[in-house]
Structure 1
């Protein structure tokens, strides 16, 4: 029994490892020279640059099944965040997960007392709610959901919009409430972390596991077509290879082009993440700084875009930077037209507004990662329309990717597990 997997992203690697564990002869074909797809890291001059700001939710059930957390040597964020705007910074955290922040969070005036009580109530309601129930039933936007629960406009502007905007790349909170409920539950049951060697360590570990199980991973190999029916296989340059099944585990747009499955979502959410070196830490500890301000004037007084969040990466994971430097990341939502230098100036001005007591002349732009398709858009009711792992009307062709579940690392790993089971059952 032979299976060809197209794409060595997270979903494809999980599928390959699980199929190889079942005794299947598996070959993975990846057009890039490295595994990981959208989850990769670049190492340069002692710094680690992930492909956009990404984190691992340790409570992800699929991640707990597929990954060796100890081997990843995880570095953990502090629960909660720092709410930041001009001349203002305040800590907002869950005192049940971080008792050290109890007094600061209790005194925080960026959300109301009622918001804090509603958050604790929601924590209890979602903590043990089965994931299948979260993704079933009626849907609404996150904004509508929070309004129905009675959360204040202050809570939305100062916390929900920047925090969940960072998770969904959608600061308007027009994303499905099911994404909110699932991620909120994951936050209450686990922690946020990055591997010491960068997020790219996750697919590298999955690739090692797939190879150990017997799968072959061929890098720099571009698949131009796939076929199902009586003679499944793929075209690789001028070569045609046959297989008992083909698993398409590419990005959504490439998967749609290869399979003509138009249920694959291609509506995109993008972002730009810049990485900076500074001489001194920001003093925010191991918490993300959320931009609670509105859009602001850019360099030269032109309308500009401010970063949605700033992250003290090397404070969380010292391995991300040399011993004598601090590494920050700043993420802009969407696909801003500004140049890298103009975006960097926006970050410098934003930090200067948040920290009027400091100068940021030492802020050095090191790397810019532009991700026009970082996630697929997840409006309300999208989950009922996502494709199955079995490609319709094309026997022998299967789909593996987060787009069969939801846009997350957890979904990509879950899709890889499910497609391996589907292939094995069918063959």
Structure 2
């Protein structure tokens, strides 16, 4: 039987393993960590569900719709829009198309001008008719320039687009490719933002179950240390042992993937973030919407996670996450003080006496940078070695959708070549 070794059990690797096994190949997967998921993992602590940094699923993602069972994930959904927060002032900017009950409040919101709201509706209609393949082709420019050229005001860019898309791209100045903006804008216009009831790690667990059912074997705690092509085969070193296969799929993190595959075009310029989790007794008044920091990026956003997914916290506590962009040098305690001070400024009528820091995640590589032109430079799933393939978001874009799409394409490339 044709044998394929998959190095890395992140989303891309898991999807690749499942498709390869379903196509009748003997698939062996190795993961150096003690659990699957890569960056999409969840831990539990004192009754709280803590994802590895603030992560969400866009339910309109095409690859997610194809690969995942949403009913099994038991999704908990955010309300469309966000709360824009200043010291002493909070206002809702929602999506009146998807939530008609907010039409009057959103139209009256002073943070974003009426002209911007009308431009948003026109852009929504335009992108709804634009194929995803067309979005990622053609000329490119930064999001900030893209919005300015289309007449969006400084207020829109600073009060909404900066903090909201800063949370998505980890780039509040909006220097990321406009193709990322158009794709995510389309996804947000046609679907929901959601998290599984048991945490984002359940996405990886579901993919692992599907891969095993298809026939793949998954071994955690043993990582691939070398991938060496050998004629029509490939030698793979795992735990001091050399295994021989017909093909290897490198599905590790970008830095490791570059080292294993010797593909220099794999992007390794990292964007990081720090997410802190807090608990307190009295829920915020924003329901299941996130709070955007209009004033500055410290923190960029605060999210009432257990208001969205009650399973994330014990019944008598609310779980909040607060995310700082980049990798600040401040200590965990100093960042927590900043979060508490910000909440007090947003809610001067409250004191937050029982706010407790639960956990801090410092993630140095949360995404790879996606400046204008990046999509013309990304590698494909095939490498210069005919027995070595790539599966990772870095062949598509930096997103959960891209990771799963890359895994499927890698599997099809392997199967097509070996067949």
User: Does residue 1:315 correspond to 2:310, yes or no?
Assistant: no
Q: Deviations 1:241-279 (Å, cap 9, x if unpaired)?
A: 000000000010110111111100001110000000010
Q: Deviations 1:401-426 (Å, cap 9, x if unpaired)?
A: 00000000000000000000000000
Q: Deviations 1:19-70 (Å, cap 9, x if unpaired)?
A: 0000100000000000000000001111000001000000000000000000
Q: Distance in 1 between matches of 2:229 and 2:102?
A: 57
Q: Distance in 1 between matches of 2:108 and 2:287?
A: 18
SS in 1 for 2:358: strand
Is the Cα contact below 8 Å between 1:229 and 1:395 reproduced in 2?
A: no
User: Does residue 1:424 correspond to 2:415, yes or no?
Assistant: yes
1:250 to 237, 249, 252: 252
Match of 2:112 in 1: 111
Q: Distance in 2 between matches of 1:391 and 1:84?
A: 47
Q: How does 1:17-416 map to 2 (within 5 A)?
A: 17-230=18-231, 231-294=233-296, 306-392=298-384, 394-416=385-407
Q: Distance in 2 between matches of 1:341 and 1:168?
A: 26
Match of 1:299 in 2: none
Offset at residue 102 of structure 1 (A): 1.1
Offset at residue 237 of structure 1 (A): 2.6
Q: How many residues align?
A: 416
Unaligned runs of 5+ in 2: none
RMSD across aligned positions (CA): 0.7
Unaligned runs of 5+ in 1: 296-305
SS in 1 for 2:152: coil
SS in 2 for 1:414: helix
Q: Distance in 2 between matches of 1:343 and 1:352?
A: 14
Offset at residue 361 of structure 1 (A): 2.1
Offset at residue 229 of structure 1 (A): 4.1
TM-score scaled to structure 1, two decimals?
A: 0.97
Q: Distance in 1 between matches of 2:194 and 2:322?
A: 17
